[in-house]
C-alpha cells in the first residue's frame, strides 16, 4: 500500500471488486430498480470504507462505477433534494466514501453485472472481466469512458411547495370601524387642508367647533370616489377619456356615467321620472368595498335595526349596490342586538285541561268570572254629562267559551252580587 494505490469499485444491483466481492439478494418486498441500484452503491461504499480502514489506505484515490445513471444523478445533488429513502442512502454513501469519484460504466463493461446475470463458477474462473475489470481500466484514467449525460429528471425528488401571499394595498377605510367616524375624520382632514391653503393666501381660516353639512357631504363624496377608484379604475379612466368601457366590465349593463363630482352613477331608464336625482341616477358602490360594509351597518343602526326590505328601500334611494340583498342579510346576521332580540323565549308544556273544560254540557253549566277595566263610563248621552269609572264582569262558559258581559259600577261585593243576579 502506498500513494499510488487506487481502489476501483463497480456496482450493480449487486456488488463486486477485484479485491473483494460482495453480493446481497434483493428483498422480497417490491422495491424499484433504481432503489436496488442505490442499495448496491451503498453496499459498495461500505465495502470500500472497510477495505480502506483494514488496509490503512486513507490517502488513496477511489474510483467507483455504477451502470445506473439515476443513481449517479442522485449522488450528484445534495441528499436533501430527494425523498427520505434516497436521501438517507446517498448521505450514508457520502459519509463512507467522501473522497470517492463516481463514474458511469456501460452494462457490458461492468464486472458486477456478471453476478447479477448469473454466471457459473467455472465460467467465472476464466472470465477476465471478473478478475481484471474492463480492458480500459489498465490504461490511463484520462482514456476511461465516462458519459457525462445524467438522467435529467431522476425520480424520488422531494416536492417543495412554496406559497406566497400578495397583500392588497390597504383600503383607506380599513382603519375605521364606523361610517360616521370615517366621515368626520375625513371632513376634519379636508378642513385642515383648506385652512392651510387659506393661511398661505392670507384668508381667514374656518374654526367652527363642529362640522357643517356641506363638509360632511364633501368628505362622503371623496370616500365614495376612493372606493370606486379602487374597484372600477379602468371604467372611470375610460369614462373620463370619453372612450368605450371594456366589454367584460360588470358595469356595462348599467350604462354608467360620471357626474360633476366625478362619481360613477347609473344611467337607467328613469331619467324623465319625477323621482329625486339620486333615485334616478344612484351612485354605484362596489359590493366588496369597505364603504359598503360600513354604510350598511350605519343604516341598519340608524333605522333602529331595520329588517331587509326597509333597508333595501332606504339604501336604493341613494346608492346602487350590486347583490345588495345578500349583503343586507349578512349585515343583519352579524348584528349582535338583532341576534339577541330574535332569540325565542322559553315556553312550558301546559298541564291537561280540567274535565269541565273538555266535557260536552249545556252552555254556562260551569262558568268562570273575571273583571276587566276600569273604563270611562258616561251616565247618559247628554252633552254636559260627566264620566265616572266602571268595570266589566266577564262570565265565561267553560265548555263553549261563550262570554257574557255585565257592567259594574265599582269593585265592591254588592256591585258583584247585583251583576251576578243580572247574569
Q: Which is nearer to Zn ion, 94 or 305 (CB)?
A: 305
Cα angle 416, 422, 423 (rounded to 5 degrees) comes to 90
From 50-58, 76-84, 218-226, 298-306, span contacting Zn ion (CB under 5 A): 298-306
Residue closer to Zn ion, measured from CB, 44 or 328: 328
**C-alpha span between 131 and 19 (Å, rounded):** 9
**By the rule CB under 5 A, 302 interacts with Zn ion:** no
Using CB positions, name the residue nearest to Zn ion: 335
Nearest to Zn ion of 194, 301 (CB atom): 301
Binding to Zn ion in span 322-381, by CB under 5 A? 335, 337-338
Give the shortest CB-304-to-Zn ion separation in angstroms: 8
The C-alpha cell at 95 is 459519509
Nearer to Zn ion, 26 or 335 (CB): 335
Quick one: 276 or 339, whose CB is closer to Zn ion?
Answer: 339
- Minimum distance from CB of 302 to Zn ion (Å)? 11
Site for Zn ion contains 103 (CB under 5 A): no
Rounded to a whole number of angstroms, the minimum distance from the CB of residue 326 to Zn ion is 16
- CB-CB contact of 99 with 62 (8 Å): yes
Interface with Zn ion (CB under 5 A), residue total 4
Q: Which of 305, 316, 394, 416 binds Zn ion (CB under 5 A)?
A: 305
303 scored as a contact of Zn ion (CB under 5 A): no
Instruction: Using the rule CB under 5 A, give the single segment among 85-93, 196-204, 297-305, 371-379 that binds Zn ion.
Output: 297-305
The upper half-sphere exposure of residue 153, i.e. CA atoms within 13 Å in the direction of its Cβ, equals 2
Q: Identify which range of 28-36, 81-89, 192-200, 305-313 contacts Zn ion by CB under 5 A.
A: 305-313
Alpha-carbon span 335 to 338, nearest angstrom: 5
Q: Which three cell numbers stand for residue 118?
A: 448469473
CA distance 363 to 330: 55
- Give me 39's grid cell: 442499495
For Zn ion, the closer CB: 335 or 377: 335
The 10 Å Cβ neighbour count of residue 231 is 20
User: CB 330 → Zn ion: shortest distance, Å?
Assistant: 12
In the bound state with Zn ion, the residue whose beta carbon lies nearer, of 26 and 312, is 312
Nearest distance, CB of residue 347 and Zn ion, angstroms? 25
392 binds Zn ion per the rule CB under 5 A: no
- Max Cα distance, the chain (Å): 148
Closest CA to 85 of 66, 99, 96, 71: 71
Q: State how beta strands 6-11 and 15-16 pair.
A: antiparallel
CB closer to Zn ion out of 335 and 399: 335
Three-state DSSP class for residue 389: strand
C-alpha cell at 11: 456496482
Please tell me the distance from the alpha carbon of residue 79 to that of residue 86, in angstroms, as a whole number. Answer: 7
- H helix or E strand, kind and range, residue 404: strand 403-408
Closest approach of Cβ 179 to Zn ion, in Å? Answer: 15
Query: x/- string (CB under 5 A) for Zn ion, residues 122-151?
Result: ------------------------------
Contact 7, 48 (CB under 8 A): yes
The residue range among 50-58, 167-175, 299-307, 365-373 that interacts with Zn ion, by the rule CB under 5 A, is 299-307
Query: How far is 142 from 352, CA to CA, in rounded Å?
Result: 109
CB of 377 closer than 8 Å to CB of 390? yes
User: Considering beta carbons, is residue 123 or 307 the nearer one to Zn ion?
Assistant: 307
The answer to whether 58 and 52 are in contact (CB under 8 A) is yes
Where do contacts with Zn ion occur on this chain (CB under 5 A)? 305, 335, 337-338
Amino acid at each position: 500500500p502506498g500513494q499510488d494505490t487506487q481502489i476501483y469499485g463497480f456496482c450493480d444491483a449487486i456488488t463486486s471488486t477485484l479485491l473483494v466481492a460482495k453480493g446481497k439478494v434483493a428483498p422480497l418486498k417490491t422495491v424499484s430498480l433504481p432503489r436496488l441500484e442505490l442499495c448496491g452503491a451503498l453496499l459498495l461504499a461500505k465495502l470500500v470504507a472497510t477495505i480502506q480502514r483494514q488496509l490503512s489506505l486513507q490517502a488513496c484515490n477511489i474510483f467507483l462505477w455504477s451502470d445506473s445513471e439515476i443513481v449517479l444523478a442522485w449522488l450528484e445533488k445534495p441528499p436533501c433534494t430527494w425523498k427520505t429513502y434516497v436521501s438517507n442512502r446517498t448521505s450514508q454513501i457520502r459519509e463512507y466514501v467522501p473522497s470517492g469519484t463516481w463514474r458511469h460504466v456501460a452494462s457490458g463493461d461492468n464486472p458486477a453485472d456478471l453476478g447479477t446475470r448469473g454466471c457459473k463458477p467455472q465460467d467465472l474462473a476464466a472470465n477476465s472481466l471478473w478478475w481484471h475489470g474492463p480492458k480500459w481500466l489498465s490504461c490511463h484514467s484520462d482514456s476511461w469512458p465516462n458519459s457525462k449525460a445524467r438522467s435529467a429528471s431522476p425520480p424520488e425528488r422531494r416536492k417543495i411547495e412554496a406559497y406566497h401571499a400578495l397583500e392588497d394595498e390597504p383600503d383607506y377605510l380599513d382603519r375605521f370601524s364606523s361610517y360616521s367616524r370615517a366621515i368626520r375624520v375625513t371632513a376634519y382632514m379636508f378642513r385642515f387642508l383648506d385652512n392651510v391653503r387659506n393661511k398661505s393666501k392670507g384668508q381667514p381660516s374656518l374654526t367652527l367647533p363642529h362640522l357643517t353639512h356641506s363638509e360632511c357631504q364633501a368628505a362622503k363624496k371623496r370616500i365614495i370616489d376612493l372606493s370606486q377608484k379602487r374597484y372600477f379604475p379602468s371604467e372611470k379612466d375610460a369614462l373620463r377619456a370619453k372612450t368605450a368601457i371594456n366589454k367584460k366590465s360588470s358595469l356595462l349593463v348599467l350604462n354608467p356615467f360620471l357626474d360633476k363630482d366625478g362619481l360613477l352613477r347609473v344611467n337607467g331608464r328613469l331619467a324623465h321620472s319625477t323621482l329625486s336625482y339620486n333615485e334616478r341616477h344612484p351612485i354605484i358602490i362596489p359590493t366588496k368595498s369597505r364603504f359598503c360594509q360600513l354604510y350598511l351597518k350605519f343604516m341598519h343602526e340608524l333605522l333602529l335595526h331595520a329588517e331587509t326590505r326597509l333597508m333595501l328601500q332606504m339604501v336604493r334611494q341613494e346608492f346602487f349596490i350590486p347583490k345588495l340583498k345578500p349583503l343586507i342579510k349578512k349585515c343583519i346576521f352579524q348584528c349582535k342586538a338583532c341576534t339577541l332580540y330574535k332569540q325565542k323565549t322559553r315556553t312550558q308544556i301546559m298541564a291537561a285541561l280540567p274535565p269541565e273544560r273538555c266535557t260536552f254540557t249545556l252552555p254556562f253549566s260551569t262558568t268562570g268570572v273575571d273583571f276587566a277595566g276600569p273604563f270611562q263610563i258616561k251616565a247618559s248621552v247628554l252633552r254636559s254629562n260627566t264620566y265616572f269609572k266602571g268595570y266589566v264582569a266577564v262570565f265565561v262558559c267553560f265548555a263553549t267559551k261563550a262570554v257574557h258581559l255585565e257592567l259594574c259600577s265599582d269593585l265592591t261585593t254588592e256591585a258583584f252580587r247585583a251583576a251576578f243576579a243580572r247574569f
